[in-house]
């Protein structure tokens, strides 16, 4: 079976082409996921590009992205498959008098009457796909078990049809915001990747790629201020996406060099709590 990537470096380059700057760790784990044919569980603070990673990998490999958004109350019929019972009913009524029972029975439980949901769709796809199971920590612990078969064996068992095995092994990403501990069984089946806030140099690079209008000087300043803010004890540290928003704002305002006053006025883009804003403003201007 062919691999998508030849080396870790190729992963990095590929992702870079689609404007996703991966560090050594991220690229390494993606590479391993491809080689070992294992899903990747991505954890980390909100807004560090977990979902974006899956999207970018899909784009870089030219695969189709299939996304399953998890929520409380998600069940089999939304995640895996469902029988199209209206169609089944029609089928039964259409030839009420002619066919023998066994024939109809075999007929209505066939592919034609099966509605595929994201998980099954990812498995039965002929073209290369990337499966993204977003915010997996939102489903109940019991529902998690639904995923286990597909994650370890890449197959789905349907009682009436038998087992459907994947035609090709898709790359699978699961993201979690860590609102609860995931079950051991799920973790064991995955490679684990923790995506944290990027270090200063990488953040600068990210700002430069995402906001091309920004000057190198300004990007450097932005990255440094954001790093200082993250070191404060805040309720919610600024995420990467907020950094990018801030950079865009500054560019729109035509600012090329951040003064304390301007930083203070635009701080509400980076921080979303009033106490955080007050604290950051205090730390950045008055202290030392």
Q: Which is nearer to other proteins, 8 or 146 (CB)?
A: 8
Q: Name the E strands within 91-232.
A: 114-116, 129-134, 155-158, 162-165, 171-176, 191-194
Q: Which is nearer to other proteins, 9 or 163 (CB)?
A: 9
CA 38 to chain centroid: 16
| Shortest Å, Cβ 80 to other proteins | 23
What dihedral angle (degrees, nearest 10) is formed by the CA atoms of 79, 111, 34, 172? Answer: -10
d(CA 229, CA 10): 34
**Residues in the site for other proteins, rule: CB under 8 A?**
8, 24-25, 28-29, 31-32, 35-36, 38, 40-41, 43-44, 140, 178-181, 184, 187-188, 190-194, 221, 224-225, 227-228, 231, 233, 235, 258-260, 263, 273-275, 283-288
Name the helix (H) or strand (E) containing 40.
strand 40-43
d(CA 237, CA 215): 24
Q: Which is nearer to other proteins, 60 or 263 (CB)?
A: 263
| Shortest Å, Cβ 118 to other proteins | 24
Q: Which is nearer to other proteins, 19 or 188 (CB)?
A: 188
Q: Which is nearer to other proteins, 127 or 142 (CB)?
A: 142
Residue 119 is encoded by which pair of tokens? 């998980």
Q: Which is nearer to other proteins, 208 or 222 (CB)?
A: 222
| Shortest Å, Cβ 190 to other proteins | 8
d(CA 163, CA 80): 13
Q: Name the E strands within the chain.
A: 40-43, 64-69, 81-83, 114-116, 129-134, 155-158, 162-165, 171-176, 191-194
């Amino acid at each position: 079976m062919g691999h998508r990537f030849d080396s870790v470096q190729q992963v990095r380059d590929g992702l870079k082409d689609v404007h996703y700057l991966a560090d050594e760790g991220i690229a390494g784990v993606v590479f391993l996921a491809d080689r070992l044919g294992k899903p990747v569980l991505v954890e980390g603070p909100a807004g560090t590009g977990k979902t974006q990673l899956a999207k970018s990998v899909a784009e870089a490999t030219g695969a189709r992205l299939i996304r399953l958004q998890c929520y409380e109350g998600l069940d089999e019929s939304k995640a895996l498959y469902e029988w199209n019972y209206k169609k089944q009913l029609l089928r039964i009524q259409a030839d009420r008098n002619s066919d023998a029972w066994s024939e109809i029975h075999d007929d209505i439980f066939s592919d034609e009457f099966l509605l595929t949901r994201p998980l099954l769709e990812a498995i039965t796809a002929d073209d290369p796909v990337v499966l993204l199971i977003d915010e997996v920590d939102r489903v109940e612990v019991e529902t998690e078990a639904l995923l286990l078969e597909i994650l370890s064996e890449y197959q789905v068992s349907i009682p009436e049809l038998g087992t459907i095995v994947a035609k090709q092994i898709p790359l699978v990403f699961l993201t979690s915001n860590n609102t609860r501990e995931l079950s051991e069984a799920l973790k064991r089946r995955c490679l684990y990747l923790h995506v944290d806030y990027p270090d200063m140099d990488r953040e600068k690079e990210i700002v430069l790629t995402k906001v091309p209008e920004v000057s190198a000087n300004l990007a450097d300043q932005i990255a440094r201020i954001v790093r200082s803010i993250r070191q404060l004890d805040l309720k919610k540290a600024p995420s990467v996406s907020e950094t990018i928003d801030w950079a865009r704002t500054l560019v729109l305002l035509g600012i090329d060099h951040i003064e304390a006053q301007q930083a203070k006025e635009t701080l509400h883009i980076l921080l979303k709590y009033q106490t955080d804003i007050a604290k950051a403003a205090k730390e950045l201007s008055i202290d030392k």
